[in-house]
Structure formats: C-alpha cells, structure tokens
Amino acid sequence: MNKKKTFSPQTLNEYHELYPQIEGSNIIIFAGGTDLMVGKEELPEDAIFVSLSGLKELKDIEQNDNTIIIGACTTLNEILHSAIIQEELPILIQAIRTMASEQVRNRATIGGNIGNASPAGDTITPLVVLGASLTIFLPGTAKERTISLPEYFCGPCANTLDNGELITKIIIPVPSKKMKCYFRKVGQRNAMTITKASLSCLAEIDNNKVLDIRLAAGSVSPTVRRLTKTEEFLKHKAVSKATIKEAKKILEKEISPITDIRSTKAFRGLLMKNLLEDCLQTIDNN
Amino acid sequence: MNINLKVNGKPVSLEAEPLDRLLDILRDTLGLTGTKEGCGEGECGACTVFMNNKLVNSCLVPAMHLQDAEIVTIDGLRDFDFFGSISQSYEENGAVQCGFCTPGFIMSTIELLRKSKGKELTDNEIKSAFAGNICRCTGYDKIMNAVRQLLHSNITIPERFYE
C-alpha cells in the first residue's frame, strides 16, 4: 500500500506539466496528511497522490485592502499565530484554537480542512459566515476559477471539484469592526475532539437590537451553509426571551441533524438551539 | 525513494516508500525505539517528535515529506543539559508510571517551556499544551505538577536544538 504512486510538484506550473501523465487516474490531493495518513489503508488501490508540501506559493497570508488571502497550504498553527488574522478575523482564531492539538495543527492545513468537506470541519462555519470564496487551480489548463465556499460542498465529505483540481487560496472579505463574533463547538471532551454541533456567528447588535446577523451551523446538515431563515427572522428584532424562543423554532426547521457515532439527532437539535441562545446573549452582553 | 534528513543532529540517508510513516522509519529503520506508537491516529501523542523545530505526530508524517527535514526524538535528548532537569522533575513528582506516554509528554513539555519562558500560565493554558498527549496512568495531576515545577525553575531550552 505504501508503494502508491506519488508526485510532489514544487510549483503549480510543474503540476500542470505533469498532469497529462495522470489525467484520468484517481487523483488524491495530499496536503498535511493528518486525515489521509490515518485512513491510508482504506484508500482506493489505484489512487495517485499529489503532495502539495513543496508548493511554497500556497503558504502565504496576505492582506489587500479589505480582503485577506490565505494560501491553502497554510497550517492551522500558522493561521493561529498570524498577527493579521488575530487582528482582522478573530472568529477564525477562536475556531482553530478548539481544533486538534499542537502536533496536528503544525501539519494540518486550512485547505485540507475545507478539501475534506466534512460538515464537522471547524474552519468551515467561520469561513461561511465571513463569506469566503475559494480559488481553484485547474491542472489541465493551468487556469484558475473562483467559487463561493458553499458552492464547493455538495454533501458530507463530497465536493464539486473535478478530478485533479485543487484549492489554492481562501479569499476572505474583512468584516466591519462593528460585527461581533461568536464561535462555539460542543464535542465529547474539551480538547482533541470532533464537533457534535457548532455555531459561528457574526452580528451587529446595538442597544439590544439586531442590526445585522450571519449564522452557520456545523455538524447538523449535510453541508455547512448560512441559516438564512433564522437570520431573516432575527434582523431588526430586539434580543429578548420571546425572540430567542421563536428563533429557536425557526432554527430547528432549518437544520437536519442525524444520529451517528458522535451524537444523536435529538441531542444535536437541542445543542443547536442552546448554542443560538448562548450566542445571542453573549453578543448582546458584549 | 531515497531520502536525506537529519535525525538527532546526524545526517541520515535511507530508502523508503512515499507513504511510510516517520514513526516506522525511526523505530524500524533507524532503531530509535524511544518514540512509541500508541493509537497510530494522531490522537494520543506517544509518537510526538520535533520536525523542523515543530511538534508533530510521527505516525502522521509520510516519508515523502521528510526530504531535508530535521527530526529530534526522545533518543537524542541526552545531548542536552535541560533534559536532566526535565527527567528529574518527572521523577520527583511521580509523573512516570508505565512510561509509555512519557516520551511524547517530554516533547510537549519542551515546547511549552520554550514558548512560555518567564510567562505566568493558567492551569488551562498548561493543559492546552498537552491537548495532544494522553496518559492512562497518572491522571495527569502528577505530570502537571512536574511541568509547573519546571515552569518555575530557571531551565533554558535553546531556540534550536542543533546549529
């Protein structure tokens, strides 16, 4: 199994040049490998690995005006320690702080967390509320295209990319400083845990009134997307017990949790409602 | 594939398959059995080593990422004076019982000491540094005591292990 064919291009252009040799094969993009190394025995026999570890061009964090661009191969710890991200995108810091361990965060990449497309991926809900988009590299033509993050996902651990395509950049519009952020996840234990349910929120609440709000929930639907109905309901309302009660009812209809090895449908539903309440109260009191 | 790397300060050249685990290369190819395999899934931290001066789970690092890498394992730590202080603190506090997790805990201890020199840490901050290490014997209290004692000592960890 370890004899699998692997390629380690040093530039995107090198990947484009070697691509005709492997076009049509089952290509697996290998970034930090913290998921793939665990499951490597179960991967298809004919898989060909393209390792991104040599692609230095995908390891940057830069800020242009009101946009932050994170290279897909930036590790979670590099993001956690980035002054730009700490200043401009605290919600991403809050989320990454809850992820895995020092050892894993030194290897795991943000592109890998998105690429894996798990509904429990903890960078995904913050990126969805931030309105992030992805730059995709097409190895056949060496061209790039950009898609919004929700467009990338098409089911649990399934994405809309064609064989061999890879995520090169995550493009994030910097939110207004008036937007307060909230991220909370619930797992089996505090550290090194996979999410049973999580909530990301950016909201502007002034004088108890919700002026703007963006919500995304993790692990309670096949793909992560905005909770638009709950958002619409909450906009221009005062945060009160009655509002929260009504919002929970709408939220419940907007999610579709399942029972699996990590939790049950009923518990996930309850968690999400309680997370929404905690979120609104936390931001309101902030 | 042929790989050239440095392990515990010494240049090493070896043959490996691209997806061979660093853990197996250390233990089976190089005979450095101080690094342990617990879960093999990156959860337990028994296989923790330094790679290019950063903590990693050696069970999750494929050979194809090792070209020119600098690896430091528990087996190399006797080269350094600070290791004596760490092992003494672990001994005095009873932080080693079966000892299987210890090589990994020592690595995370080194990283914490290096990052936190002169800082006053909360218990939660200390615990977070060990999120990736599991111990089934001590109940963690004894390890935390050993680490707290080290944080209050004047131990110095060099920025890099080897020049």
Token duo for residue A187 = 């797992």
Domain termination residue (choose one: B47, B76, B105): B76
Contact B132 A192 (CB under 8 A): yes
Contact A101 B56 (CB under 8 A): no
Output the CATH code of domain A59-173: 3.30.465.10
Q: If we measure between CA atoms, which residue out of B2, B26, B30 comes closest to residue B14?
A: B2
Residue B128 and residue B36: Cα distance in Å, rounded?
Answer: 22
| B45 inside domain | yes
Domain termination residue (choose one: B26, B59, B76): B76
Question: Which residues on chain A are in Cβ contact (under 8 Å) with B111?
Answer: 102
Q: Is residue A68 within a helix (H) or strand (E), and if so which, with residue range?
A: strand A67-71
Is the pTM for the entire model greater than 0.90?
yes
Contact B18 A49 (CB under 8 A): yes
How large is the angle between the packed helices A241-254 and A265-285, nearest 10 degrees? Answer: 140
pLDDT digits over B116-131, tens only? 877 889 999 999 999 9
Question: Which residues on chain B are in Cβ contact (under 8 Å) with A34?
Answer: 42, 57, 60
| B161 inside domain | no
- Among A8, A40, A104, whose Cβ lies nearest the Cβ of B57? A104
Interchain CB contact of B131 with A (< 8 Å)? yes
Q: Is residue A20 within a helix (H) or strand (E), and if so which, with residue range?
A: helix A12-22
- What lies within 8 Å, CB to CB, of A140 at 6+ separation is A16, A19, A23, A164
| B158 inside domain | no
Q: Where are the domains positioned within chain A? A: 6-50, 59-173, 180-285
Question: Which residues on chain B are in Cβ contact (under 8 Å) with A194?
Answer: none
Output the CATH code of domain A180-285: 3.30.390.50
Domain termination residue (choose one: B24, B56, B76): B76
Question: Which residues on chain A are in Cβ contact (under 8 Å) with B21?
Answer: 37
| Sites in chain A below the pLDDT cut of 50 | none
- Give the pLDDT of residue A45: 83
**Nearest chain A residue to B66, by CA:** A53
The residue written with tokens 């990156």 in the block is: B42
Range of the domain at B95: 77-151
Which amino acid makes up residue A219? S
Domain identity same for B30 and B67: yes
Question: Which residues on chain B are in Cβ contact (under 8 Å) with A38?
Answer: 40-42, 60
Domain containing residue B94: CATH number: 1.10.150.120
The total number of structural domains that make up chain B: 2
A7 close to A48: Cβ distance less than 8 angstroms: yes
Contact A101 B17 (CB under 8 A): no
Domain identity same for B59 and B27: yes
Q: Let me know if B83 is exposed, middle or buried by CB neighbors in 10 A (0-12, 13-18, 19+).
A: middle
Contact A33 B65 (CB under 8 A): yes
Contact A38 B21 (CB under 8 A): no
Q: Is residue A268 within a helix (H) or strand (E), and if so which, with residue range?
A: helix A265-285
Contact A102 B61 (CB under 8 A): no
pLDDT digits over B27-64, tens only? 999 999 999 999 999 999 999 999 999 999 999 999 99
Interface ipTM: 0.97
